[in-house]
Amino acid sequence: MPQILDGVEVRTQILLGLKPRVERLKRPPGLAVVLVGEDPASQQYVRNKIKACAELGIYSEKLTPPASTTTEELLNLIESLNRRPDIDGILVQMPLPKQIDSRKVLEAVAPDKDADGFHPTNVGHLVAGRPAPRACTPAGIIEMLKYYRIPLAGTRAVVVGRSDIVGKPMALMLLAESATVTVCHSRTVDLAQECRRAHILVAAIGKPAMITSEFIAPGAIVIDVGTSRITDAAEAARLGLAEQFASKGSAWVGDVNPVDVKRVAAAYSPVPGGVGPLTIAMLMSNSVQLAERHTCSG
């Protein structure tokens, strides 16, 4: 059986390391979370983030404009948060309603309050190797690989997916660790062959169970970023998730086929319980880091 890369264990260690940093600050870090509308999944994500703040002693403030909010109204709200000295980090929960220009909103967040690490200025700092908030999911993956002492320097890493949130920053962070990185996407010719070259394979393409044994080299380290809900009993059984389906009426699967990865990989991050817990942990890390900068310069 391959080694399980347990994200919950890594998250616990990250949060334990943050607690004394919070206690040393002159005031609690402040995180503002903007949730537009009433999307159930987004509401759950925000609840989890607020809960993590409370456990660490971070002041959190949830702002809930209605789904009818315009781009201009949201920009005004962001600007007011940018001016507040008690708010160190701002997070705008995605997705936003269709009438809102998401790019304008994300770029309106002050770079030194960008808790998600998505602002172009901070992406530029990532490219240049300068300190700045990092995109939370790929930063958490790097922490996981280091926690389990998986060598990165000199290894061949393949990232499947080129999103601004995971794929692109993941490639840059692996490159910063001296891995040799290939980024694949929907138009990659012979995707399976490219993936089989990887010592470390990061699947972030958003297609449930797409990565089968054909894509995985024997002994590879597989990081599964995807999260999809399976509501068909036969499909759940095919993916080895019949027990989970029977107990809950549905099952969660990532971008990697869970049956195949267990047969081929040397180590992998499961879904759920792998990468997911690390995203919020790194959001907390970014928030504390921003507060440290603000209190030192204030």
Residue 134's nearest CA partner among 11, 285, 292, 8 is: 285
Q: What tokens does 263 get?
A: 């047969």
The single residue of 93, 113, 260, 289 carrying the catalytic annotation is: 93
The answer to whether 190 is a known catalytic residue is: no
Rg (CA), the chain: 20
The answer to whether 116 is a known catalytic residue is: yes
Q: What tokens does 266 get?
A: 């040397």
Q: What tokens does 106 get?
A: 């994300």
Phi, psi of 145 (to 5 degrees): -60, -40
The single residue of 116, 224, 255, 260 carrying the catalytic annotation is: 116
Distance CA 171, CA 158 (A): 8
Phi, psi of 131 (to 5 degrees): -65, 135
CA–chain centroid gap for 208, Å, is 17
Could you give the C-alpha distances from 293 to 30, 61, 118, 297, in angstroms and in order? 13, 20, 18, 6
The answer to whether 146 is a known catalytic residue is: no
Burial 15-52 (b: 16+ CB within 10 A, else e): beebeeebeebeebbbbbbbbbbebeebeebbeebbeb
The three-state secondary structure class of 294 is: helix
Residues annotated as part of the active site: 49, 93, 116
